[in-house]
Structure 1
């Protein structure tokens, strides 16, 4: 007998018929003797519907009330799924994040999980029940409902698995695993049988939409085996784990190509080249909860320099408004932005032990006359900022350059 935590995304529970299909799947696992904890998203489109209602009332709704509103989507799903399980003779009990108690900080719409009380879930599991938990939500120490940000149900599922010390956390979605890149962009993209937490974290942070970044962080921190599976067809999916010393991994330089269309570039021109200038520019950006990604500072000329960084496209105007005040204080000359950029990244643990990876990447882009505007690297990643119009061409050329179109060699 194993303890599985399963998470079902919005498309997996998007209709009553799909909820019934999920209930069938859970019933099968339960019949095999497994303990089951289920985390679910709102039905597909529901969160957007609720956000639309909010925007029809106010252009700037209070974050606390927004969390109260959007958290109701998952409450519908947990109730319907439990009803479907009861119909199949399976005992089940639903819990909101508040009822579990998934304790978070008080950062409304972007809360982080601090602790989970597993006592009620343990009692239900011991009584033979399936536990169904609303994803995406929690409660702060003052009893306010909080939400974890888009994709937060993934984080709920992994956090539950960590707290309960589950044997595996299974993320059911509309794709059958993690691919070398988005199959909608590259028809020859392949499903990966396994990938390390480190690689998956880089791919998620660089734009892969399969899993939310925080869910991968949780899984890696607590060593929760994580498997991405399809709700709509059977298959082994992709296993994400700590293991990276497998001999086959040494043969693979790059595991995948990630990309992000949601980037915008901000440049502060003519910054006085003095100690602390960069901190004075970026500190208020961080305090406004705007995430900064790639950062480049040019070589000083005439005792001034240009500082360029990327933010999410939705945050660019907010960032510029903040910077105007800071730059006036610093005496910087100007602020410019460009929202027509994209980020493309190559990721792979094999990059640690292979030379020439960067030159292969840059040559592939140069052969397509794609100009690189910014570069950032880590041990297992190289990311570049390019014009958005060249994004798909860049992904296809890199996918081919690193041999990701070819099927992996069979083991002897």
Structure 2
């Protein structure tokens, strides 16, 4: 599952659908270079010998081209949120990093979409706005997404989030919205600082070694 999460979060080694099928049918995937005889990486369905007490960080992934869509002034009526996501679903636009907040100005919904879908998502939501009150829709194409991936990484591991933030702050990189799941912690950062963010996280979490990797239960070792 970790390799699937990494592929979905932007790792270019394997296509998400490839990993999904392998996981579904219990098939091991051996990733090797066509240029060398090095052993490469084994993505294994088996978790035998895996320790839940060990290091849970198994990789850093990134998405360079994302758009952050923000809808301000959203009605508190649950049907408004339902309508918003129905419009995106009908348009075939995938979403990630969904966050909802409330202020004196009303409810705000923010989420990310692939950058190529940003303008179209904005247009669809603005068309919907005509029947949804005083909403304001904006699209930010100046951000990228970087993620830490690992089993149990988001399950109450506040220290990992704190270390992630400290690493980027010490590198002078602005931190945007943060989202966490059982397998991934993702945040947005300025697109122009993405490469620095990835390098800093690799260094700080000890993932910048040049050793061959093995993957057990979808985890890169």
TM-score normalised according to structure 1 size: 0.48
Change (3 A) 1:229 1:279: same
- 1:201 is aligned to 2:201: no
Change (3 A) 1:355 1:326: closer
Query: 2:129 matched to which residue of 1?
Result: 327
Query: 2:66 matched to which residue of 1?
Result: 263
Q: Which runs of 5+ in 1 are unaligned?
A: 1-197
Where in structure 2 are the equivalents of 1:110-259 lying within 5 Å? Answer: 198-247=1-50, 250-259=53-62
Deviation at 1:380, TM superposition (A): 2.1
**Structure 2 Cα separation of the partners of residues 296 and 288 of structure 1:** 20
Deviation at 1:252, TM superposition (A): 2.7
Query: 1:306 matched to which residue of 2?
Result: 108
Alignment: residue pair count: 210
Deviation at 1:291, TM superposition (A): 0.7
Deviations 1:315-336 (CA, angstroms, capped at 9, x unpaired): 1111111111211111133211
Where in structure 2 are the equivalents of 1:363-402 lying within 5 Å? Answer: 363-402=166-205
Structure (1/2) with the larger helix percentage: 1
Which structure's CA Rg is the greater one?
1
**Structure 2 Cα separation of the partners of residues 329 and 216 of structure 1:** 41
Change (3 A) 1:245 1:369: farther
**Structure 2 Cα separation of the partners of residues 383 and 245 of structure 1:** 28
SS in 1 for 2:130: helix
Change (3 A) 1:252 1:406: farther
SS in 2 for 1:298: strand
Q: Which runs of 5+ in 2 are unaligned?
A: 212-221
Deviation at 1:353, TM superposition (A): 8.9
Deviations 1:148-170 (CA, angstroms, capped at 9, x unpaired): xxxxxxxxxxxxxxxxxxxxxxx
- 1:273 is aligned to 2:76: yes
Change (3 A) 1:314 1:354: closer
**Structure 2 Cα separation of the partners of residues 318 and 354 of structure 1:** 36
Query: 1:317 matched to which residue of 2?
Result: 119
Deviation at 1:251, TM superposition (A): 2.9
C-alpha contact 1:342 1:386 (8 A) present in aligned 2: yes
**Structure 2 Cα separation of the partners of residues 306 and 332 of structure 1:** 12
The 10-residue stretch of structure 1 (249-258 or 320-329) with the greater mean CA deviation from structure 2: 249-258
C-alpha contact 1:254 1:350 (8 A) present in aligned 2: no
**Structure 1 Cα separation of the partners of residues 140 and 97 of structure 2:** 14
C-alpha contact 1:201 1:217 (8 A) present in aligned 2: yes
Deviation at 1:369, TM superposition (A): 2.5
Which of 1 and 2 has higher RCO (CA within 8 Å, sep 6+)?
A: 2
SS in 1 for 2:62: strand
